[in-house]
Amino acid sequence: MAVNLLLGLQWGDEGKGKIVDVLTSNYDIIARFQGGPNAGHTLIFDGHKHVLHTIPSGIFHENAVNLVGNGVVIDPVIFKNELENLSKFNLDFKSKLLISRKAHLILPTHRLLDAASESSKGKSKIGSTLKGIGPTYMDKTGRNGMRIGDLELDNWKEKYRTLANKHLKMLEFFEVEIEYNLDELEVEFFAAVETLKQLTFIDSEEYLNSAIKNKKTILAEGAQGSLLDVDFGTYPFVTSSTTTAAGACTGLGVAPNKIGDVFGIFKAYTTRVGSGPFPTELFDKDGETMAKVGHEFGATTGRPRRCGWLDLVALKYAVEVNGVTQLMMMKGDVLSGFETLKVCTSYNYKGKEITHFPYNVEEHNVQPIYTELKGWKEDLTSMTSVDTLPKELNDYIKYIEDFVEIPVTIVSVGPDRKQTIMR
């Protein structure tokens, strides 16, 4: 049996949570492999809206085991809040939610370092969510971090104190004023750790490889998007982890030859939260309409998302880097009513037309070159089959498929899990 992957192909917020929720009934195990609570996966069903930050999106399915892998960084306080928000649904967290002992912990002082670092950048801010993600991954690669498994040791508070004291000294370097009460933050943190310790910690790489041998079906769930990958994203306006397919191997401990299908999620248009280049960004009524109709606000931060036309150059790049085998298009319903749609099919890069995603896509280097397609007026939200979709939408999908050379197998026409059309 192979591990299937589900990834975002843009700058995040593509709708991965909904698709994981839709697909979960096909899988025994849902495994999150990277990122932290800077992710926000929104699920809507049975009249309820759920926003998950660390817990995998299969938690609402009775038969699925949910695993937080070693590549994830965990804030115990946010994790505890997630558990409390889900408590009314009577979920069996002890047996259905497993945490890798090798996953790293976000400390209160990581969040302080994040805030100080971002504040010190002034106008050059990268748009951090201030959740402490970057400093935690820095400690991980610097071999200083604390891991879930450390909480099982008698001296874990000593390890915590040593690292926290180091962080406090580092804060002085930034020479900025940030207000905080570490005593209060630590009371909250230690209480959350005790809640976390009531869950099941496992050696996840052994668990997953054993599951593969026993022919269990596994879906690996990514966070953020491919264009936020620390290597292949729009650096430095990226996240601190590997968001592409390769991250599933290092973030779960499974070998590359165990990877099966790679499901790539993308919006019918493009959005971005925070700072960084965005070649197809719109500053006109079309962009405003996308934002309004699509309710484009970050699930984690609440920040408004920047909106623009679909960038096929960037999408093809993400498809290639990830080895995508199936595409899933989200929010097709948001484009209803546009008389003409535009898709970016090449860039004017320093005066030369190119069709690949270059090293630098800053506005002064790159301008999008568009192809226009006919739009549709029909409301898609109640449509349930491919046969009912307007011809113009099917033409739009076929144009995308031909450009990136990968089939679109799912079209989402609304936020509810029922508003999902299989092709």
Positions marked catalytic: 13, 41
Two structure tokens written together for 318: 């993400």
Burial class (CB within 10 angstroms; exposed 0-12, middle 13-18, buried 19+) of 199? middle
CA 62/CA 49 separation, integer angstroms: 18
Contacts of 412 (CB under 8 A, 6+ apart): 15, 18, 19, 328, 329, 330, 331, 332, 333, 419, 420, 421
What's the one-letter identity of residue 292?
Answer: K
Two structure tokens written together for 138: 């820095």
Contact in structure between 222 and 248 (CB atoms under 8 Å): yes
Strands 41-45 and 259-267: unpaired
- Count of Cβ atoms closer than 10 Å to residue 206 Cβ: 10
What's the first-to-final CA gap in the chain, in angstroms? 24
Identify the helix (H) or strand (E) that includes residue 259.
strand 259-267
Give the residue from 395, 400, 248 showing the smallest Cα distance to 329. 400
